[in-house]
Structure 1
Amino acid sequence: MADPCVLVGRAGGDPDRQALLERWLELTRTRLPALATQHGWPIQLDHCFMRVCLDVSLGARWDSVVPRPAIRTLSTAQLAKAIAQAEAIIADPASLPDLNRASLRMRHKA
């Protein structure tokens, strides 16, 4: 994935959005995957955490709500909601399996 600073540059260079993108990538690429083995989660890869957080925070399969790639097309409010969902998972690790199943149901895979 491209550097979030480059992505922000394409989106107008909003420093608040840049901070949100950096937080999103830290949570989904580093923090959540680091907790996966410790908690025995059914997912471990960054894109899976992104899927779960986006689907749950948007209430639907994320790519039915925003065009791909999400990192470029999410509104700032949508991005903030996805970050809040990632932080909620960190605060309550036992919630992840149910959230993953909910995401998979949204995709008709569960």
Structure 2
Amino acid sequence: MAADHLVQRWFALTREELPALAGARGWPVHLDHCFQRILLDHATGGPWRDTIASPAYRNASDEQLQQAIALGEQAIAGEQDMDRLNDKSLAWRGKRKGRTKRPGLS
């Protein structure tokens, strides 16, 4: 079970900070649960439900939640591409094969 301060940071990041930036950044997602899926999938190396029991915020290890938070913070800093992170998450889930070309992206 993740520490309370990590859970608080997780919810601030995924419910407030990332959704607030989504429109201006042109990100493919804007809902909190989508950011949670993307970040947790990358923290676990595949669909998070294969590794963490639901609800993830209660059952993730500190390390898993720290990795997910760090990735979200890197996206805010412009060090990670949310489009690519989303595409990889969806590919792991069999919902999209590879990257979909979007205007302005190479």
Q: Provide TM-score, normalisation by structure 1.
A: 0.82
Aligned-partner Cα distance in 1 for 2:92–2:78? 22
Partner residue of 1:104 out of 90, 95, 101:
90
Task: Give yes or no for contact 1:29–1:46 (8 Å, CA) kept in 2.
Answer: yes
Q: Residue type of the partner of 2:67?
A: K
Greater than 4 Å deviation, 4+ residue runs: none
Identity over aligned residues, as a percent? 44
Structure 1 unaligned spans of 5+: 1-10
Given candidates 72, 81, 90, the residue that maps to 1:95 is 81
Gaps of 5+ in 2: 97-106
> Which of 25, 39, 51 pairs up with 1:53?
39
- Aligned residue number for residue 65 of structure 1: 51
Identify the structure with the greater helix proportion: 1
RMSD value, Cα: 1.5
Paired residues in the alignment total 96
* Change over 3 Å in CA distance of 1:93–1:40 after alignment to 2: farther
CA distance in 2, matches of 1:84, 1:93: 11
Amino acid at match of 2:85: L
Offset, 1:57: 1.5
In the alignment, residue 76 of structure 1 is paired with which amino acid?
A: D
1:20-62 Cα distance to aligned partner (Å, 9 max, x none):
1111100000000000000111100000000000001111100
Q: What secondary structure, in the 3-state scheme, does the structure 1 residue paired with 2:52 have?
A: coil
Partner letter of residue 42 of structure 1? P
Q: How far is the alpha carbon of 1:94 from its aligned partner? A: 6.2
Which secondary structure state, in structure 1, belongs to the residue aligned with residue 27 of structure 2? Answer: coil
Structure 1 equivalent of residue 63 of structure 2? 77
